[in-house]
Amino acid sequence: AAILRYPFVSIDTEFPGTIFKPSKQVIREGNPIINYHYMKLNVDALQIIQLGLSLSDAQDCYASDSIELLKRQGIDFEKNKEKGIDSKDFAKKFWDYGLLFNCYGLKSITWITFHGTYDFGFMLKILTQSPLPLHLHLFMYQLAYFFGYNIFDLKYTFKFLGLLGGLEK
């Protein structure tokens, strides 16, 4: 298996924007529990569009400005719907390929994201086929249970090091 030779896994998702948005004051406060609440609301209400494979449906909630941006960036929603893989089938393959629980006896897989809270939120929703946990501490427990402790979010690593804070800069 390739994971034996390449234990670094990058993850990025495309999703239809955020439909539940905190006020600017709430954002400035940066309360992790409140931030999780808004992320949970959005992940529970929305469907992932793409994680290498498409998991989209025109019936799902979305933010129209995000959909238009994705179309301008080349996302072909009709092709994704026609040739994509159902999220339940994807979850089964993800389990089968041993990307969870250190199935191959590796010391650990290292997961790399850029601003990846939503990425892992959608992944947990797909893998459990359930809404996200009600509380942040339960989300963190599930995250560690499925993906381990080697998760690096480059946006926050860059911020900590005083480097770029976003891809547009």
Q: Do the Cβ atoms of 166 and 156 come closer than 8 Å?
A: no
Range of the domain at 131: 8-97+117-148
Q: Stretch 120-126: mean pLDDT, rounded?
A: 94
CA 29 to chain centre: 23
> DSSP readout, 65-122?
HHHHHHHHTT--HHHHHHH---HHHHHHHHHHTT-STTTT--S--EEEESS-HHHHHH
User: How many other CB atoms are there within 10 angstroms of residue 132's CB atom?
Assistant: 22
Is residue 164 in some structural domain? no
Q: Stretch 4-26: mean pLDDT, rounded?
A: 85
Determine the 3-state secondary structure of 123 from DSSP.
Answer: helix
Please count the structural domains in the chain. Answer: 1
- pLDDT, tens digit (0-9, with 9 covering 90-100), for 125-140: 998 999 999 999 999 9
Is residue 61 in some structural domain? yes
Among 47-51, 58-62, 124-128, 131-135, the range scoring the smallest mean pLDDT is: 58-62
Q: Do the Cβ atoms of 80 and 60 come closer than 8 Å?
A: no
Q: What is the mean pLDDT of the chain?
A: 79
Report the candidate in 1, 2, 3, 37 with the shortest Cα–Cα distance to residue 20. 37
Is residue 27 in some structural domain? yes
Determine the 3-state secondary structure of 125 from DSSP.
Answer: helix
Task: Say what the pLDDT of residue 41 is.
Answer: 98
Taking the C-alpha atoms of residue 70 and residue 158, their distance in angstroms, rounded to an integer, is 25
Is residue 47 in some structural domain? yes
pLDDT band at 21 (very low <50, low <70, confident <90, very high): very high
Q: pTM for this one? A: 0.72
Is residue 168 in some structural domain? no
- pLDDT, tens digit (0-9, with 9 covering 90-100), for 147-160: 888 888 878 777 77
Is residue 166 in some structural domain? no
Is residue 112 in some structural domain? no
